[in-house]
Structure formats: structure tokens, C-alpha cells
Structure 1
Amino acid sequence: MTKYPEKIADEQHLEELLSIPSVETIEMFSRIDGDIIFLGIAGKIGPSLAWMAKKASEKASVKKRIIGVSRFRSEEERKKVESYGIEIIRGDLLDQSFLESLPKVKNVFFLAGMKFGSNGNFPFTWAMNSFLPGLVAKTFKDSRIVAYSTSCVYPLTTIGSGGAKESDTPVPIGEYALSCLGRERMFEYGSNTNNTPVAIIRLSYAVEMRYGVLVDIATQVKNGQVIDLSMGYSNVIWQGDSNDVVLRSLEHASSPAKIINISGEEEISVRSVAEEFGKLFGIEPKFTGTEAATALLINSKSTYKLFGKPKVSVSKLISWIADWLNEDRRLLGKPTHFEVRDGKY
């Protein structure tokens, strides 16, 4: 059982915590066959997810190629991933000849996608979120595939209802969410056509110290900004917990594709979280609007039955984030736009 610190010292400490594999993940790595490739590794989640896989492989005393693929917009980004012992392949996944040149390993994690700035750039959004998954599903038809999706494919649900379940019919709001459903359908088509084992991860707001819903709220409080309460509730999960479940989802990939909701247990109140940050910062939060009767919420109970519940609590995350901001440490500057209700990101 991981013992978590009272505070997180710096970014290196944070990355180490995000990439600690559970005993169950290490045991899984001793069972699964084949090497692993992470497509679109250079985003917010990819580096720590791949590092966790590398650590799990080493702790299980098995030799696997752990490969990360991305355009890598900066050398700093590439060097960080490489420092974790990840084999790097640099290129554009939308270049079909490049995609087809990649090693056809047994296990594929698909992390590529477009969200921020999607409104007004819809052709590229659809290319990344729907066209590319079709290419990947065909190129890696003989692999196991775990593909990230999003809770945005679900409709808004009533507060206190427990949130949308995997069996609920998707009702995406806006073109971004539609393109994400397109991503899922392409992987489902590939799974059905080629009998490819696929797991689709509907993630609702992974959180760490540099980005996420809680960081958005904390930043608004600290900067004296007015907080919109219309999307008054949300789900969040420590990214380390999410990473662990995503890796373990390999063993649950199936044909037809398996949908897996991943988030925390609580329907967190934006108002209550802001007030808690206000106490920690000594600042009175400012609000506008009132909580709507619905919010973008998901139900992860079936996931807990498979993998157990998240290990890091919301209260622990709030404490860590408050300390991080009080120390003026670096943020990624990538707001989640969790407050958006019309699907325009």
C-alpha cells in the first residue's frame, strides 16, 4: 500500500507519485504477453502512464519494449519521456505511411486527441478524434487496444442520480463530443470486424497538481476571479489512480469493445470545493449564478468492482493543490473548461 506524503515537493516528486504501479498492476505485467506502444504519449497523461508501465515491467522482472509515439513539439518534452526509459519514435500519426511503419506490438494505448481549441477547428478535431482511430484500429487489428475517450459522450444527468452508466445511450453535446463518439465507434467497428480486443476508457477529469478541475477552481479562488456555478458538480480522480486502472484495463479488452467509466466516487460540489480552497488561502470565493439541476457526471461503480476504489481522496487532493499554489509552482495553463454546458470547447 502506497504511503502518500503530506505535501508534494516538486514536479519530479509529482511525476514519481503519478507513476507508482499498484501490486495488482505489477502482477498483471508478469502475466501479459507482448510489448507496449503509447500512441500520442506527449500529452498531460501519457508520460506518467508510460513510466508506470515501465516501473511495473521492471518490478515484475519481465522485459518489454515500452514505446512512446508523438510529434513532440519540444525537445524538453521528448527528453523527459526518454529519461523514463521509454523508447521514442517521433512522427505524425495522421501520416498513414508513418503509422503503418510503427512496430506491430501486442498492446496499444491510444491517447491522441483534440479538445482545446476544437470549437472553430472542426476538420482537424474530427481527423484526430474519429479518422485517426479508424486508421489505428485497422493498423493494429491484431493487437489489444486501450483507447481513451471521455465522459462528454454522455448526456447531463440529474444531481444525486449517481451519474451516467456504461450501459446508458450516449447523447453527445456539441461537435467535440460528437467527434469523440466517432472515435469510440471506429474502435468498436475495428473490434467487431477484426475481433480485436478493445477497451474504451470514458474518463471524467483526471487531476494532479498542475491541471484539472480542482486546479481550475483553486486558481480562480486564489486570483479573486468569479466562479460560475451553473455546472455546479463534477467528478474527479487522482491521475495516479486513473493511470493504474487504465493499464489494468488491458486484461479486460474484449470484442465487442468494453466500455469502462473512470472517475472518483464523489459528486463534488464546485461551491464547497471553492469554499474549502478559500479557507486554505484566506480568501473569500466569489460566485455567480446558481447550480443547475443537471451536470456532466458518470457512475464508476462497475469499475470499482473490477479494480477497487480510488486510493487518493478529494480532501487529500485539495490539500496538495493548495500547497502547490501557495508555493507558486508551475501549472500547465490548460483549463479543463469543465463549466461548459453547451459542448463548445
Structure 2
Amino acid sequence: MTNGAPTTELELDALLSAPDDHTVAALSSLSGDVLILGAGGKMGPTVARMARRAIADQSRRVIAVSRFTDASTGTALQAQHVETIRADLADPAAVAALPDAPNVLWMAGQKFGSTGDPVGTWTQNVVASTIAAQRYAGSRIVCFSTGNVYGRQAVAAGGAREGDALLPDGEYAASCIGRERVFESIARRTHSPLLLYRLFYACDLRYGVVTDIAHKVLNGTPVSLDTAFVNVIWQGDANRLALRALTQAAAPADGASVALNVTGPVIAVRDIAERVGTIAGVAPVFAGTPSEDALIANIEQLNSRLPYTALPLDTLCDWAVRWIRAGGRLLNKPTKFEVRDGRY
């Protein structure tokens, strides 16, 4: 590493999967195995590795379940002493055959391509969720969700709060509300502990809002200001918070939200681009007119319930510049934070 910045994917994944003392303490306070459903996506592998690294008792299993369409992902997890199971989570028989576990993270879902594949989107985000919620009723569940369920908020109001009305903007957001409703409905019926983990824009160096903006700045591409504000969080921080969130899961009660916004503070897109430009020695180019609303979150509850020390934004911007300039692999999956019509 150079000045703490990862220079290879091995170094990056090691950073993203490094637990802190809070994560170790949280998992030590729980008993039993940890099951990660949908572990083959962008975040799942490093969450699984982090769980394994945080749990000293090797008799407690960490199990990653996915279709593992990229077989190398499963092989790499096995090398880190994470058990893997290949399964289609939309297949009731396959889910029924999975092992029991008292601690479950649901990370499966579909976003990109949802506009062209609405049936697939609802299958992954709602049908599969129904199967899993019923199968693991009684377990402690952290269900990954998204800030898209809120729709855009007036910037002046400071971001959506967990108890706000949900206003879907497009097919993807509607299906994510469906996922939340399914999990909460079954948790209420079975008195099962649940937390809806509403994540806003986690940033790896291979993808994420900061990487999207840095790539444009470094290539002289105009940065759109139509969506002028975002929340961002380093994926390593988001991974640690996801595992700690297992301790926050609770049986739904009337009038109480089981959701938690997980992200960093609201920040201007222009600010991110200018930080990148200062680090890189490049003047950013901007386009568009800032709107008065954006998909942004209030994080007072997060700061109260799961306080943590975040990776500084300047560090994340610096690492992104170094990664791109060194030719680090990019996933080529833009966050599309600029999208304002709900079409992904």
C-alpha cells in the first residue's frame, strides 16, 4: 500500500473486510452461525470475510449463499474459511434445503437493468424475499434495502428520516418497498427480530459515487450537477455497520420503525468533484443546474445507535484518484446517482 491506499485488489479486499473492535464485540455478543444470503454481489464477499475474521470461535460457521455465477468468488471465500453454498434464492426448494442459522443477512436483489426486466426485478426483490423471510422466521435478520424507497427529498429539509412516508420513484424503488413490506409482515406475524438496512451509496474503489465522479474529473468529462447532493459511505464502514446491525434487530412494534439509514453525511456533488480535482491537480468540468431535491438521508439515528469513526472523505477521494490512475480494475457499474426518473 502507498500512504495507506490499496494498490491491488487483494489489498483493497483486505481493507474492506477488516473488522474493528466494535464489530468483534457485536458478533461476540451473539451466539450461533452467521448466514449471508446473496453473498456473491458487490458487497457480499467482503461482508462474509469480515464476519469470519471477527469471529474467533471457529466452531461458529459463516456461510455465504449465492448462485456464484463467477465461480472464483466462491473459491476465494472458501480460501478465507467461509463456507459457500450455491443456490437460487428464488427457488423455494433450494432455500428450504439451506442450513438453519440464528443470524441472517439478506443481501440479494436486483437494481441495474430493472427497467428492462421488471419481472426479474420483482422476482429477485420480492418473490425471493418472501421465500427467505418465511424460511428464516425466528432468526435475527438484517435485510439490506436502499434509500430509493423514500424518493427524492427537499435538500433544505436535511434528508429522509426512517419514519417518513415511502414514495417510490419507478419500478426498482417500488420493488424495494415490496421487499421491505414482505420482511416486516412476516416478522410481525412471527415476532421475529428484523432491521431494514437502508444503505445509501456505499463506495468501493472499483465502483461508487466517488469513483464515478473521480473518473469523470480525471477524463475531463462534465460532472452533472442536476442531482447536486448525495450521501456516501466507505464500503468498509458499511460492512462493519451491517454486521453490528444484527444487534439492533428487534421484533416490529406498532408505530415503531424497524429501518435504519446507513450512510455518511449529505455532501455536495460539486464538493466531491473539487476535492478530487485538488488531489489530482485537475480542474473539474461541470454541467447542469442544481435541483432543490435529491435522494438523501438524515443519519441522526445511525449516529445514536451505531456510532463509528468514518473513513474521511478526503482519504476516499485520494484513494479513488490513485486507483484510477494506476489502472485499477473498475466494475463498470455506474451508481446512476444522477438519475431523476427512477429508471435504472
Encode CA deviations 1:246-292: one digit per residue, 9 max, x unaligned.
10111111111721110002x22112222232333333322221110
Which residue does 2:107 correspond to in 1? Answer: 111
> TM-score, normalising length from structure 2?
0.95
In the TM superposition, 1:32-51 aligns within 5 A as 32-51=30-49
**d(CA) in 1 for partners of 2:62, 2:179:** 24
**d(CA) in 1 for partners of 2:54, 2:59:** 10
**d(CA) in 1 for partners of 2:102, 2:91:** 21
Encode CA deviations 1:64-97: one digit per residue, 9 max, x unaligned.
1100111111222221222221101012111110
Picking from 53, 56, 71, the partner of 1:55 is 53
Picking from 148, 152, 156, the partner of 2:152 is 156
Which residue does 1:264 correspond to in 2? Answer: 264
Aligned-partner residue type, residue 262 of structure 1: V
After the TM superposition, which of the residue ranges 320-329 and 61-70 deviates more from structure 2? 61-70
**d(CA) in 1 for partners of 2:298, 2:308:** 12
Encode CA deviations 1:283-302: one digit per residue, 9 max, x unaligned.
33222211101111001111
Which residue does 1:99 correspond to in 2? Answer: 95
Q: Quick check: 1:77 aligned with 2:73?
A: yes
**d(CA) in 2 for partners of 1:202, 1:103:** 26
Picking from 123, 128, 134, the partner of 1:127 is 123
CA drift of 1:5 comes to 4.7
In 1, are the aligned partners of 2:18 and 2:53 still within 8 Å (CA)?
Answer: yes
SS at match of 2:55: helix
Aligned-partner residue type, residue 172 of structure 1: P
In structure 2, runs of 5+ residues without a counterpart are none
**d(CA) in 2 for partners of 1:137, 1:6:** 40
Encode CA deviations 1:24-67: one digit per residue, 9 max, x unaligned.
22112222111111111010100111111101102xx4631100
In 2, are the aligned partners of 1:39 and 1:70 still within 8 Å (CA)?
Answer: yes
- RMSD across aligned C-alpha pairs, in angstroms? 1.5
**d(CA) in 2 for partners of 1:159, 1:239:** 24
Which residue does 1:344 correspond to in 2? Answer: 343
Aligned-partner residue type, residue 342 of structure 2: G
In 2, are the aligned partners of 1:18 and 1:239 still within 8 Å (CA)?
Answer: yes
In the TM superposition, 1:1-345 aligns within 5 A as 5-58=3-56, 61=57, 63-256=59-252, 258-265=258-265, 267-345=266-344
Aligned-partner residue type, residue 24 of structure 1: H
> TM-score, normalising length from structure 1?
0.95
**d(CA) in 1 for partners of 2:273, 2:294:** 17
In 2, are the aligned partners of 1:237 and 1:310 still within 8 Å (CA)?
Answer: no
Provide closer, same or farther for how the CA distance between residues 254 and 5 of structure 1 changes in structure 2, counting only shifts above 3 A: farther
SS at match of 1:247: helix
Percent same amino acid among aligned pairs?
A: 40
In 2, are the aligned partners of 1:30 and 1:62 still within 8 Å (CA)?
Answer: no
Aligned-partner residue type, residue 49 of structure 1: V
SS at match of 2:13: helix
**d(CA) in 2 for partners of 1:173, 1:286:** 29
In 1, are the aligned partners of 2:115 and 2:172 still within 8 Å (CA)?
Answer: yes
